[in-house]
Structure 1
Amino acid sequence: MAKSSSKTQFQCGGCGRVTAKWVGKCSQCGEWNTVVQTVARAADTSTTASALDRVSRAVESFASERAHESPGRVGVSTPDVATSSAATYPTPDLPKSEVEDRNSAVELVRISTEGTSYMSSGIEELDRVLGGGLVAGSTTLLAGDPGIGKSTLLLQSAAAIANTGKTVLYATGEEALEQIRIRATRLGLKGDRVFMLGSGDALTIVDRVAELRPAVTIVDSIQTATHPDLDSPAGTISQIRECASFLSQIARAAHTALMLSGHVTKDGNIAGPRVLEHQVDAVLQMSGDKVGMLRMLHGVKNRFGPTDEIGVFEMRGEGLVGISDPSSVFIQQRESGSGLLSGSAVALVVEGTRSLAVEVQALATPSSLASPRRVANGVEISRVHMITAVLAKHMRLPVSNHDLVISVTGGLDVKEPAADLAIALAIASSLLDLPVKDTIAMAGEIGLSGELRSVTRV
């Protein structure tokens, strides 16, 4: 049996770049103090061949089953695992008349899209962000802070899909299966046809996929997934990269929709190599205040739908509940308050295909500093600087000697210029201590010469 060799190397925890010696700053991503020492070991040849043989048998089984279900279609061939140094997998099946091997070229119009329709996730707000639902063979990454509700959303989606008669495989390396059962009971989820796997081993997941043929496979989380051919621990750059690639290609071969949960760093970026976001088909990011009840789901990347859609949820005792009318939540406290307060205005903005009414609040206080502070939550600070400059120049408002704090309620990030007018009115309202009528909502872009420009998407 071949012995494995090892060598010491240094790898960046941000981008995965490998260097021969330690450096303080990564030359590829520019991050400081992210380079750590690792040990790279060559995998045992017999172990690698055994693992590839298991994968090859599973892939051939998937292709054979699909070819049997669609007699006019054929799966592409796979390489001989005995002579291959890396796992390779087939692409989605193509018409037999056009494709005889994986190196054949075929006209785009002749490629069959049979079996690639959208499948509902069972949660309306999640389907909205996905662009209609899950696609068989696709890989979706759901990222968010710890405790934000990723596992709850995935569990609710798994139960909803299973209620339609489909099989779901839920693999977890973070929690005991008993803990998940307790949470499912608390949320009122039955869990029929949801098969739980308390392992993050990639080959074990492949075996269960081959056995169960699930419509949806969930891995919670990709940071706890491991591949037996890699000696590095779970959560390292190499494990995350290889497991994501491995499971994604198996999902395409098995025609199962793969959903991965992922951690984020303290800066809000997805933990792991940057290539992880390129390996998957869709990246969804969940945000919100863990103390509060609102959760926002944003589409960062989506090969099958738009990336500007948002989903709004409220965390309740029965789990995450979708909010079909987010505007009622964003301005709820303003409507229920007694009397009108200065420094508040309602902006009309568009997120994806829905128009939202959001409250913009401003607080202006006299400053004793030479350079007054500008703080912005939910809006870009550059737009705040631009609007305050326009107010000082054309409205003669005393913004230069006041500290300004701008905030959008509900945790929504507003990036479009349609909110300029509401920001300006909120600042002026706070400076002059004059409230804006609660029956007025506004949308408009402010130009540098003080003119009001129309917006196109409201």
Structure 2
Amino acid sequence: MAKKKATVFVCQNCGTESPKYLGKCPSCGSWNQMVEEKVPDKTDSRSRISMSGKASKAEQITDITIEREERVKTDLVEFNRVLGGGVVPGSLVLIGGDPGIGKSTLLLQVSAQLNNNGGKVLYVSGEESTSQIKMRAERLELRGSDFYLYAETELTAIQETIEEIKPDYVVIDSIQTMHHAGIDSAAGSVSQVRESTSTLMQIAKMNDIAIFLVGHVTKEGNIAGPRMLEHMVDTVLYFEGERHHTFRILRAVKNRFGSTNEIGIFEMKNGGLVEVLNPSQLFLEERLSGATGSAVVAAMEGTRPILVEIQSLISPTVFGNAKRTASGLDYSRVSLIMAVLEKRAGLLLQNQDAYLKAAGGVKLDEPAIDLSIAISIASSYKEKETRPTDCFIGEIGLTGEIRRVSKIDQRVNEAAKIGFKRVFIPKNNMDGWDFPDNIEIVGCTTLADGIRRAFS
């Protein structure tokens, strides 16, 4: 009988396993990512057993009772919105973001608020000592009675502490620092991250403990570790923003208990993160009146409409090929709209460099922003400014038509609330709802018609 191999080579980028070393991963194509690891012991039991000794078993849905409240709300309305209405007991939430962006600060504030609302919290840190965490808590003026700090990386010790304290909420900062004794590889490797997350998932599900995991990100902006990590957890949140700017965006990219693509806006201050309840006004407060290359769109982020300024700069190219740059916007979408502008609206853009961005650091990727992108490009190209009280909503087809978009009433109502006087929408979106009295609705059929009426 052939001898069982004791080691396997695992790609640290995607988790693909190979019996022999490969310079290039056959799955993700990464070079020099195959690391030799010992094959974990498969003899241990995988049945779910709670702290009370109750084993998991099949039950009829009519016999299952919910013993705790469905959601627990924090004092941060924006955080509750991103989670879908509050923290779900027994959920596993993964929060990723760049170093220094404020992940630990956010979770420390949330932990203190959950503790003040009657929950017992265990904050586990593998990167800081308990005294360092206490210093940050004092700076943020956070207090608590059943709030435990624990500096540990060994997962077995953490599991024993959870069984002893029996907390309602657990924070693991970070999952890449955790080490499982049954896996003979370095902390942060694919095997360690996968096994640690699996153990924490069993603890969360069997004991109704909400567990928050902090995840490091790669230089591409993805959470480090195997892609399976995001599939295992219930919710994946990304904390975005620039370290040198005060505003932060918490974005949900996966949520089993709520809407995806929800965002929450926060501002980093000396006393911690403060939520921004009116992000539309935030994104528009520095807009220059009379500037060319600017157009405002009412975009939907999950269930919330947000007004964002689209900026464009069109200038003649000095090289043979025109340059296209997009920040916060999809590059392919920008190229497509510029092609339609040239073919259907008569704008000669093939010898023009184009630079576009969504102001405020927000990322937009929905069809309804097409018309505002086209208007901002036309404004910069023609050197004609749009009215500061105009808003543009609509999808552009390849034949130059303006196509209908969803949730038009919520978008227009948000524009009217901020003070816009005129909004351009697809002609097919004009029927079936009541317009606000304080705003003019302009229905557009084609892109050329929309451009003509915007600058008339």
Fold conserved (TM > 0.5)? Answer: yes
Q: 1:405 is matched with which residue? A: 355
Once the two structures are superposed, residues 358-417 of structure 1 have per-residue CA deviations (whole angstroms, 9 ceiling, x without a partner) of 000001111022220111111111111111111111221121110001100111111111
Find the residue that maps to 1:165 and give its secondary structure: coil
Any conservation in 1 of the 2:314–2:380 contact (CA below 8 Å)? yes
Q: 2:266 is matched with which residue? A: 313
Q: How far, CA to CA, are the matches of 1:123 and 1:6 in structure 2? A: 51
CA 1:41–1:390 in 2, change beyond 3 Å: closer, same or farther?
A: closer
Match for residue 265 of structure 1 among 169, 194, 218: 218
Any conservation in 2 of the 1:118–1:135 contact (CA below 8 Å)? yes
Q: 1:40 is matched with which residue? A: 38
Q: 2:166 is matched with which residue? A: 213
2:312 is equivalent to residue 349 of structure 1: no
Once the two structures are superposed, residues 170-211 of structure 1 have per-residue CA deviations (whole angstroms, 9 ceiling, x without a partner) of 000011112111111111212432100010221222222112
Q: 1:177 is matched with which residue? A: 130
Q: How much does 1:254 deviate?
A: 2.0
Q: How much does 1:151 deviate?
A: 0.5
Q: Greater CA deviation, 14-23 or 322-331?
A: 14-23
| Equivalence map 1:24-423=2 (5 Å) | 24-36=23-35, 38-40=36-38, 59=49, 61-63=51-53, 75=54, 77=55, 90=56, 102=57, 104=58, 106-115=59-68, 117-334=70-287, 337=288, 339-423=289-373
Letter in 2 for 1:222: I
- TM-score normalised over the length of structure 2: 0.84
Q: 1:15 is matched with which residue? A: 14
Any conservation in 1 of the 2:50–2:203 contact (CA below 8 Å)? no
CA 1:112–1:427 in 2, change beyond 3 Å: closer, same or farther?
A: same
- TM-score normalised over the length of structure 1: 0.84
Q: How far, CA to CA, are the matches of 1:117 and 1:41 in structure 2? A: 40
Q: 1:66 is matched with which residue? A: none
Letter in 2 for 1:267: E
Q: How far, CA to CA, are the matches of 2:121 and 2:143 in structure 1? A: 13
Aligned-pair identity in percent equals: 43
Q: How far, CA to CA, are the matches of 2:172 and 2:79 in structure 1? A: 17
Any conservation in 2 of the 1:6–1:42 contact (CA below 8 Å)? no
Letter in 2 for 1:40: K
Once the two structures are superposed, residues 295-345 of structure 1 have per-residue CA deviations (whole angstroms, 9 ceiling, x without a partner) of 1111111111111211111111111111111111111111xx4x4211111
Q: How far, CA to CA, are the matches of 2:314 and 2:50 in structure 1? A: 67
Q: How far, CA to CA, are the matches of 1:414 and 1:154 in structure 2? A: 26
CA 1:59–1:208 in 2, change beyond 3 Å: closer, same or farther?
A: farther
Find the residue that maps to 2:211 and give its secondary structure: strand
Q: How much does 1:228 deviate?
A: 1.6
Letter in 2 for 1:23: L
Find the residue that maps to 2:337 and give its secondary structure: helix
Q: How far, CA to CA, are the matches of 1:39 and 1:327 in structure 2? A: 50
CA 1:353–1:242 in 2, change beyond 3 Å: closer, same or farther?
A: same
Any conservation in 1 of the 2:50–2:207 contact (CA below 8 Å)? no
2:444 is equivalent to residue 454 of structure 1: no
Any conservation in 2 of the 1:62–1:210 contact (CA below 8 Å)? no
Q: How far, CA to CA, are the matches of 1:394 and 1:372 in structure 2? A: 20
Any conservation in 2 of the 1:419–1:443 contact (CA below 8 Å)? yes
Letter in 2 for 1:27: P
Q: 1:97 is matched with which residue? A: none
Letter in 1 for 2:242: D
CA 1:183–1:60 in 2, change beyond 3 Å: closer, same or farther?
A: closer
Q: How many residues matched?
A: 405
Q: How far, CA to CA, are the matches of 2:213 and 2:51 in structure 1? A: 24
Letter in 2 for 1:143: G
Letter in 2 for 1:299: A
Q: How far, CA to CA, are the matches of 1:120 and 1:315 in structure 2? A: 21
Q: 1:436 is matched with which residue? A: 386
Q: How much does 1:22 deviate?
A: 2.1
Any conservation in 2 of the 1:376–1:384 contact (CA below 8 Å)? yes
Q: 2:423 is matched with which residue? A: none
Find the residue that maps to 1:299 and give its secondary structure: strand
CA 1:395–1:171 in 2, change beyond 3 Å: closer, same or farther?
A: same
Q: How far, CA to CA, are the matches of 1:39 and 1:418 in structure 2? A: 48
Any conservation in 1 of the 2:395–2:404 contact (CA below 8 Å)? yes
Q: How much does 1:259 deviate?
A: 0.7
Q: How far, CA to CA, are the matches of 2:143 and 2:286 in structure 1? A: 36
Q: How much does 1:241 deviate?
A: 0.5
Q: How much does 1:8 deviate?
A: 4.7
Q: How far, CA to CA, are the matches of 1:454 and 1:123 in structure 2? A: 35
Q: How far, CA to CA, are the matches of 2:34 and 2:52 in structure 1? A: 40
| Structure 2 unaligned residues grouped into runs of 5+ | 412-456
Letter in 2 for 1:257: A
Q: How far, CA to CA, are the matches of 1:274 and 1:365 in structure 2? A: 41
Q: How much does 1:20 deviate?
A: 2.6
